[in-house]
Chains A and B, each alone.
Chain A
Amino acid sequence: AQTVTQSQPEMSVQEAETVTLSCTYDTSESDYYLFWYKQPPSRQMILVIRQEAYKQQNATENRFSVNFQKAAKSFSLKISDSQLGDAAMYFCAYRSAMNRDDKIIFGKGTRLHILP
């Protein structure tokens, strides 16, 4: 069974600084997708960034980028120029590409605080 581990339950970063959230996963599959989701307080979960396992190039979305290390099964999220609106719970997630269904396996999350 696949598992996703986020070892940092909480983190804080100064506004405008850069922060990296860690994620490791375990799988025996060779083809899969990885995601970072953001859940702001009392607001809906939204997709931040996604990565296909067979693509070596790291995904980037504006201030958000990932460091995908397939051999190490590591998938960290870097947030540059942190803004107050980035304060949220961040979930690392895994989805198999072997099946056509939408089942996502989530990590326990990292709560990110932005300090003004």
Chain B
Amino acid sequence: KAGVTQTPRYLIKTRGQQVTLSCSPISGHRSVSWYQQTPGQGLQFLFEYFSETQRNKGNFPGRFSGRQFSNSRSEMNVSTLELGDSALYLCASSLGSGRLADTQYFGPGTRLTVL
């Protein structure tokens, strides 16, 4: 089975621009979660989607948004980029039943640099 894939792997943007990141979960997985990883704040939960519905959301401004398609692929969008948005963005997929046995599998991440 193919693992979680994220595209692009690297992105360089300037302040004020917007960006869209993509995540393809493992086949059969219906849940996709997004995390932001920075040296200062560590790993922070952005949001989780299950069957095209946002199931939970972290404490991030409205500039951060996401969606999930019927094939479970997910995108996250960041508008009006700020320098502080520079980070590694990780997505993780799971079956989504909420049980412990549902291991979350992480993708390699998208490294976003905002200049």
- Residues of A with Cβ closer than 8 Å to B? 33, 43-47, 50, 52, 91, 97, 99-109
Q: Which of B15-23, B77-85, B98-106 contacts A (4 or more CB under 8 A)?
A: B98-106
Contact of A33 among B31, B48, B56, B100 (CB under 8 A): B100
Q: Do A103 and B56 touch across chains, with their CB atoms under 8 A apart?
A: yes
Q: Do A45 and B90 touch across chains, with their CB atoms under 8 A apart?
A: yes
Q: Do A107 and B42 touch across chains, with their CB atoms under 8 A apart?
A: yes
Q: Do A104 and B100 touch across chains, with their CB atoms under 8 A apart?
A: no
The 5 A-B residue pairs with the shortest CB-CB distance, nearest first, are: A100-B98, A106-B43, A45-B106, A101-B56, A101-B55
Q: Chain A binding site: helix, strand, loop or mixed by DSSP?
A: loop
Expressed in whole angstroms, the Cα–Cα distance for A46 and B107 within the complex equals 10
Name the A residues within 8 Å of B94 (CB-CB).
Answer: 102
Expressed in whole angstroms, the Cα–Cα distance for A106 and B33 within the complex equals 13
Q: Do B42 and A100 touch across chains, with their CB atoms under 8 A apart?
A: no
Contact of A102 among B42, B98, B109 (CB under 8 A): B98
Name the B residues within 8 Å of A44 (CB-CB).
Answer: 3, 106-109
What are 20 A-B pairs at a CB distance below 8 A? A33-B100, A44-B108, A45-B90, A47-B103, A47-B104, A99-B56, A100-B97, A101-B48, A101-B56, A102-B31, A102-B33, A102-B55, A102-B102, A103-B45, A103-B48, A104-B35, A104-B104, A106-B44, A107-B42, A108-B42
